[in-house]
Amino acid sequence: MSTSAYAPQPGDQALGTSESASVSSEVADFWWLWLVVGAIWLVAAYVVLQFDQASITTIGIITGCMFAFAGCQALIVGMLADNLRWLRIAFGVFLLVAAVVCFINPEDTFAGLADILGILFLVVGISWTIDALVARDANPLWWLGLTSGILMLILAFWTSGQFFIEKAYTLLVLVGAWALMKGIADIIRAFQVRSLR
């Protein structure tokens, strides 16, 4: 598609182009939010991957924080999104419920996450893949989200085939990898949103 198709044309205001530009400008003003959340994800990944003999309680609380941050971000994006709004909001609510469960009983969270880690990664992988494909026309780096989604799907099936003891030992690495991928994607997204200004 040629770039001239994106040039302002007479009568665009009647078609809502000025409204779209206004919304893009408003979203671009919050570019730093993605940067902050991405940095938090990277710090969480660093902390999680540093544990050698971490306590079960600490792992449950850190996992709860990660779910809470992801849930809040998904809700904000869902409220600002034009398409798939209900899906993004539902996913955000799902992540916030998971965070509350983690905070209520962090000891059982570790065991529960080890049991259902494959399912959680499957849900996240599907979400990232759908987000990447939906944003394909607007995001020149959509393939990065698609790659992250595919990697998450591979991790989901690999984790599902392990025994509980092995799942418990690999939980730190998998949560750390998830936080790392999410942090990198959010930082890249921050600068893409900033470019809309």
Let me know if residue 9 belongs to a domain. no
> Percentage of residues in the chain with pLDDT exceeding 70?
81
Let me know if residue 111 belongs to a domain. yes
Alpha-carbon Rg for the chain in angstroms: 19
CA-nearest of 101, 159, 95 to 127 is 95
More confident residue, 134 or 21: 134
List Cβ neighbours of 8 (8 Å cut-off, separation of 6 or more). Answer: 17
Let me know if residue 146 belongs to a domain. yes
Let me know if residue 159 belongs to a domain. yes
Supply the pTM of this predicted model: 0.53
Model confidence at 88: pLDDT above 80: yes
Q: For 115-125, what is each residue's pLDDT tens digit?
A: 777 887 888 89
Residue carrying the six token digits 């990447």: 132
Q: For 158-171, what is each residue's pLDDT tens digit?
A: 877 777 767 766 77
Let me know if residue 12 belongs to a domain. no
Alpha-carbon 127 to chain mean position? 8
Let me know if residue 16 belongs to a domain. no
Let me know if residue 11 belongs to a domain. no
**What pLDDT does residue 72 have?**
92
Res. 39 pLDDT band, cuts 50 70 90: very high
* Helices and strands per DSSP (H, E), number in the chain: 8, 0
What distance in Å separates the CA atoms of residue 148 and residue 178, rounded to the nearest whole number?
A: 9
- Amino acid, single-letter form, for residue 23: V
Q: For 121-148, what is each residue's pLDDT tens digit?
A: 888 899 989 988 998 888 888 888 899 8
Let me know if residue 1 belongs to a domain. no
Q: For 42-78, what is each residue's pLDDT tens digit?
A: 887 777 777 655 556 777 887 788 889 889 998 998 8
Residue 130's domain comprises 21-194
What distance in Å separates the CA atoms of residue 110 and residue 118, rounded to the nearest whole number?
A: 14
User: Number of folded domains in the chain?
Assistant: 1
